[in-house]
Structure 1
């Protein structure tokens, strides 16, 4: 299963607007996507409550995994959202 380890660059972490954008992008993808802290239990990337419950802050790492056709492209888009411009 392809994955990306990404450092969250948004000042608010993976909360508020960045989380909403992340979840919306994940929800549009026809693949299974999970997010976890390194070494942690993965959660559904299409669930805003699950993402917010991770309580990921600025400068912390997350691991995004996707399974299915187009997984690499979806991972690239999601990594770009959390890593910032």
Structure 2
């Protein structure tokens, strides 16, 4: 299963605008990405409401994952890994701020 860990660098965490930017990037990827952290079950990263209510605060470590069995037919595991890498960079650069 493609998995990446990232540290949320947005000063306000994944709330409001940063969450919307992140969710838009996930949606644009076309992949069923899930995001979670210790103590919180992973949520659908394509859902703004789920991402905003999961309390992904500044500095927390999150895990992004894609179930290979849920991959759309046009994607390979390698392309899913590349997409997760791009989402990791987005979170760690603070660009979703």
TM-score, length-scaled by structure 2? 0.79
Matches within 5 A, 1:53-68: 53-67=53-67, 68=71
Aligned-CA RMSD value: 1.4
Q: TM-score, normalised by structure 1?
A: 0.89
Larger Rg: 2
Question: In the TM superposition, what are the counterparts of 1:1-85 in structure 2 within 5 Å?
Answer: 1-38=1-38, 40-67=40-67, 68=71, 69=75, 70-84=79-93
Gaps of at least 5 residues in structure 1 are: none
SS at match of 1:42: strand
Q: 2:33–2:46: 8 Å Cα contact kept in structure 1?
A: yes
Shift >4 Å, 4+ stretches: none
Count of residues in correspondence between the two structures: 85
Conserved in 2, the CA contact under 8 Å of 1:21 and 1:81? no
